[in-house]
Chains A and B, each alone.
Chain A
């Protein structure tokens, strides 16, 4: 018997394939030196049941995926061994707006200039097994899951809207693209030890230790259109390419504790200390030559630390008496960003969700979460003594999310969980591609623009006086299959 369980432990199947994730904005999670590496987009719960319950799961007894939340969840699982695989599809809509001024030059609203919709997918897996010795329960597990995504896609066309009121065709002048791919993965082993004090009364301690690695490629391009080249002349307008290829590597540890306090309550607590990863890679930027100016090529070798903030997470599960069998989970998480730098404050994230078994034990799950993240921003100006100053600051962005889901029992020990989430965020950010680049007089040396035959156009890079308003809508579908024995 013991042998079988041991086999299960080592027979874990962990499949992960990350194609990308969801934001081109530099949504912050880690803390790289500014400009050296992109900031990652943090993943939510990949366990479909927890996901549908708002992402709350510091204390979780029903799915193998719960061990990625808290290693001490292994020895509170209802079953002695389990395995789960989850897949997630994201539909992201990134809309960027520029400020709009009325005839009195008052800022009145924002006008959409680029909207991108993309879809991405991710997978994760987890498994565990446990054995009981009298009042002691010992569990071992492993999981493999994405932690941060650096992926994102973005396309923006540059056109002149002159005379479009009169049905003139706005010629395409250039096209900007961002194509990023990569994720920080964590592959961890977890161990948990539980002590049963009585029925529905036990205490558990767990720890996980994982290797983290990311292989990221990020490409940013500006390409002039054929029309632009034909209008201005060949070999005048310079294309731009920035290519970053870098890797992250390091280890992370997480400590966890769970306590079952009678049949009604379960408590969970985790602590993830500050994690320092190593960045290695290259950052190559090339701007083609144009008349009188040689090609500009810059290569930066990336070598430094990438830090992840410490996290405290405390949560509970409440098991009331309800004619629809019910579980209510709620977690509060503190992410200590201030441990990384003074530019951040600590943030508190809330996760809550409920599961009602409506008919024939089919659950209806719904939940809510509010997660804060940061992105870094840079302002450059000259001080009174003429010194150039670069000022890096952090902007906090709140992403609320509503979730819902259900599950179907496919076989005696096999359950398919489905989760749905809708999240959005709104914030100000700098224009991803400054308008000054498209001023052809810079390259032709002429007094007047040929691409912009409009004396009223004033192509300038917009700064924080005129930032973009960004709105992102993120729809997530999450599906997971869990096996238990």
Chain B
């Protein structure tokens, strides 16, 4: 009876409860039934809809129109049900929000890898089913960590949760703390469903200093030996003036990704960079040509093969193997890419929506992997940009299949020159036939205009090279090369590429791989003259030929040719072997690659080669990296992206002597170089955390030799972090680099010292304040531009050495108003006399020369759980170079002899803006 009575009471209670209005689920019309005004009902509804879910009835007091009396009135009439967010995606996103923001902030440096990592953060992989490459592709997870987990799983153990993962023998703390967010144990945190990520970014930028100089170089008539000639001063004789590059032109990038769990993935990205003709002027075919897109399928549980995974991608994809010597396709160079820590490679096939355009792969790729064996096959067909040999009217110079330059006579018949003999037919009697365009090199152009636009510009420049009128009786001695003979052409080289990677792993952590690719050029021959013949082709005025014969140019003359005196082919083939093993807490890995050139494809050692071997030893608070590399000058593999100190073509005429080139745009081969410079050397890196107070931060020593000219250099950097309190950190960093340390009498010797001190305060709510000061010195032999008095004529004093000094002071501040609104800002002032500084901003690196001041502010707004907006504005005001404004504006005036001339600096004020919107649903 008692039980029945209790049950009766409970039923009454439930009934009463049921009669009440639930603030978290009631409709607006239900709320209007309450004894409050319609406006108050609407306020309650809007608070729930637009501000937050009610956690208790007392939240009503947060609504301005609800006073205490009204709340007391409502209290018996309403309930607040326990409401939890049922959307597992939203919950997961909340959980990993700070990690996604961190990845976003590194997107500029990681070239599309952030997308892959973000996907794995949202939909983690099962730690008990992952393979070696899955682990080592994640940020800060080492091969030793991977082997430790795999060995445990292989013993039949199942890792049950994060605590269990932490107990894995051999797994470092750093490996664990980074890995735990990318994996799940029993049940995935989100169920499979369609997920979308739409991004748009609008940003303005200025050309980098090297590009700026390149685009300012004019095409002028030769006044050498033409004393009667008045040089016209015309802004339009340079690409800068011709294309009006003063104007603000935005980069607009749009990206849409869709996926169903980790199984089905699709995406499309379009990037319209500065100087691109713009979206509204493109038809759909052009839009697709300039876009990147993919569709892919991944499965880690193949029904017919145990513990085997499959990846299949159509469209654009990235392929990365070993140490990036044979295949790691990207347009962007990054210095000292070790492959460890956060400087990672994502191994194998991954979808590609990065901004890489030139070295993108478009086609199909398949990858099958299990713990013992892995194989991938990929094919690609894409039109690439190149520097073409052109005639005076801008047409391609054509070649026949035998490697002859083919000309067309007045009748339209094609012929080639056999010595001094004109040949219209081959030995077999067939007519001469030209079907290959002659190219100098691949290039990533700074001006991505279409070919017709460039042709018009070249016609204008060619006309500029001649004086408009030649006085009666005078003659004109032109340049050695009187027209643009080399020019960038977009989508001009049809490249068909196929490749494979095979890998066996007999023991956990030990693997041996073989990678090869062949790139077939259907309609092009690459022809690069030898060292002696290079200057007559690339330098406009023969006056410079003896001056610019520098050994560094061997990097250019060693660009890959498909047609030489020794061989003739229409492809490029690279073969590589990679491998690695884990011994205790040390991982050793390496790669050897050869570019097929003179020798046999499968015979090792008879072709230009590159190799790299590295080891990584880790302890709980300490690691060592030792890395040795050696890249031959002739190893020209545009799909490589391996460790080096400098990018290829640094210090060649393509960098230093743009003014002398027949077409300044040829310098783009250097400006946008993606390859490592040929060098050999040893690199050593460590980091040691003594205790909670002291850490020796990332410190390294690199000793290397630039193989083109034998320049030896040493670079050392070390930093000490002292954190006496959790809220306060101090960092001292010292960097030293000596170029040509073995021969101080050499012209190229230089000694750089850099001292940095930074103080950081970690405030509450993840706010952050940092003050940084940097001081640099560079010692080098005297340069007239730095030591001469501003006087015409020769040196008037002795100079032993040049000392350049610079310093930099900056303040960074981050303030989180709430989790929804974050403000970041920085102010920097720097001074550099001939040296440059660098600064890592919120998502990008910035280089600053001479002296100036810079301030930027970025506001990140989290509009909702799945929409993010970021606005950044930067002003940079600097003086960038010395220019000589000569008296009377006439440099040749004899009255200048013995007179003072004046050097002035040009001040630039640059405003840049970035607006990005990201919607994930």
Contact = CB atoms under 8 A, between A and B. Distances in A.
A103 B50 CA distance: 65
Contact of B235 (A107, A319, A366): A107
Nearest to B218: A106
Contacts of A469: 246
B202 A426 contact: no
A100 B202 CA distance: 31
B889 interface: yes
A321 B250 contact: no
Contacts of B29: 199
Given A350-B202, A370-B202, A466-B233, A320 B863 contact: yes
Contacts of A324: 818, 820-821
Contact of A428 (B246, B873, B913, B917): B246
A370 B250 contact: yes
A400 B232 contact: no
Interface string B860-873: 01111101010101
B50 A106 contact: no
A193 to B, nearest CB: 23
A398 B249 contact: yes
Interface in A423-457: 424-428, 454, 456
Interface in B502-525: none
A129 to B, nearest CB: 19
A467 B244 CA distance: 10
Interface in B870-900: 871, 873, 881, 883-891, 893, 900
A464 B891 CA distance: 25
A234 interface: no
B234 A466 contact: yes
B692 interface: no
Contacts of A471: 909
Contact of B886 (A103, A322, A367, A467): A103
Interface string B362-392: 0000000000000000000000000000000
A402 to B, nearest CB: 5
B241 A321 contact: no
Interface string B231-244: 11111111011001
Contacts of B865: 320-321
Contacts of B917: 330, 352
Which DSSP category, helix, strand, loop or mixed, fits chain B's interface? mixed
Contact of B233 (A99, A109, A347, A428): A99
Which DSSP category, helix, strand, loop or mixed, fits chain A's interface? strand
Given A321-B49, A456-B890, A106 B821 contact: no
Interface residues of A, number: 64
A325 B51 contact: yes
Given A106-B238, A366-B871, A427-B247, A326 B820 contact: yes
B218 A107 contact: yes
Interface string A381-415: 00000000000000101111010000000000000
Interface stretch (A116-124, A180-188, A354-362): A354-362
B162 interface: no
B840 interface: no
A321 B236 contact: no
B27 interface: yes
A322 B820 contact: yes
B847 interface: no
B264 to A, nearest CB: 28
Given A106-B216, A109-B906, A424-B911, A465 B234 contact: yes
Interface string B242-272: 0010111110000000000000000000000
A263 interface: yes
Interface in A85-123: 99-111
A348 interface: yes
Contacts of B911: 424, 473
Contact of A103 (B46, B891, B909): B891
Nearest to B217: A106
Contacts of B280: 345-348
A107 B915 contact: no
Nearest to B884: A103
B52 interface: yes
B871 A109 contact: no
B248 A400 contact: yes
Contact of A398 (B231, B241, B248, B817): B248
Given A105-B220, A366-B861, A323 B52 contact: yes
A325 B50 contact: yes
B244 A428 contact: yes
A206 to B, nearest CB: 24
Interface string B279-290: 111000000000
Contact of A368 (B46, B218, B659, B915): B915
Interface residues of B, number: 70
A402 B873 contact: yes
A413 to B, nearest CB: 13
A267 B909 CA distance: 39
A368 B204 CA distance: 13
Interface string A332-372: 00000000000001111010101010100100101110100
A422 interface: yes
Nearest to A467: B235
B200 to A, nearest CB: 9
A28 interface: no
A358 B821 contact: yes
Nearest to B917: A352
Interface in B187-236: 202, 204, 216-218, 220, 231-236
Interface string B47-74: 0011111000000000010000000000
A105 B233 contact: yes
A43 interface: no
Given A107-B218, A322-B50, A352 B915 contact: yes
A303 to B, nearest CB: 34
Interface in B795-838: 817-821
B342 interface: no
A71 B50 CA distance: 26
A99 B235 contact: yes
A371 B913 CA distance: 14
A422 B218 CA distance: 34
Given A345-B281, A402-B873, A356 B867 contact: no
A366 B240 CA distance: 34
A483 interface: no
A380 interface: no
B43 to A, nearest CB: 11
Interface in A297-325: 318-325
Given A320-B864, A324-B818, A354-B863, A368 B202 contact: yes
B250 A400 contact: yes
Contacts of B889: 456
Contact of A322 (B218, B246, B864, B888): B864
Contact of B241 (A107, A345, A368): A107
A368 B49 contact: no
Contacts of A350: 202
Nearest to B905: A109
Given A106-B659, A454-B888, A328 B247 contact: no
Contacts of B27: 199
A167 interface: no
B783 interface: no
A323 B861 contact: no
A348 B861 CA distance: 25
Q: Which 3 A-B pairs have the closest CB atoms?
A: A320-B864, A103-B891, A465-B234
20 contacts: A105-B231, A107-B216, A108-B883, A109-B216, A110-B246, A199-B27, A321-B50, A321-B864, A322-B50, A323-B819, A328-B867, A358-B817, A366-B861, A398-B248, A400-B248, A402-B873, A425-B247, A454-B888, A456-B893, A467-B241
Given A325-B50, A356-B820, A367-B871, 15 more contacts: A100-B906, A107-B235, A108-B216, A108-B881, A110-B246, A321-B864, A348-B279, A356-B861, A358-B817, A364-B817, A368-B202, A370-B915, A395-B244, A398-B248, A425-B247
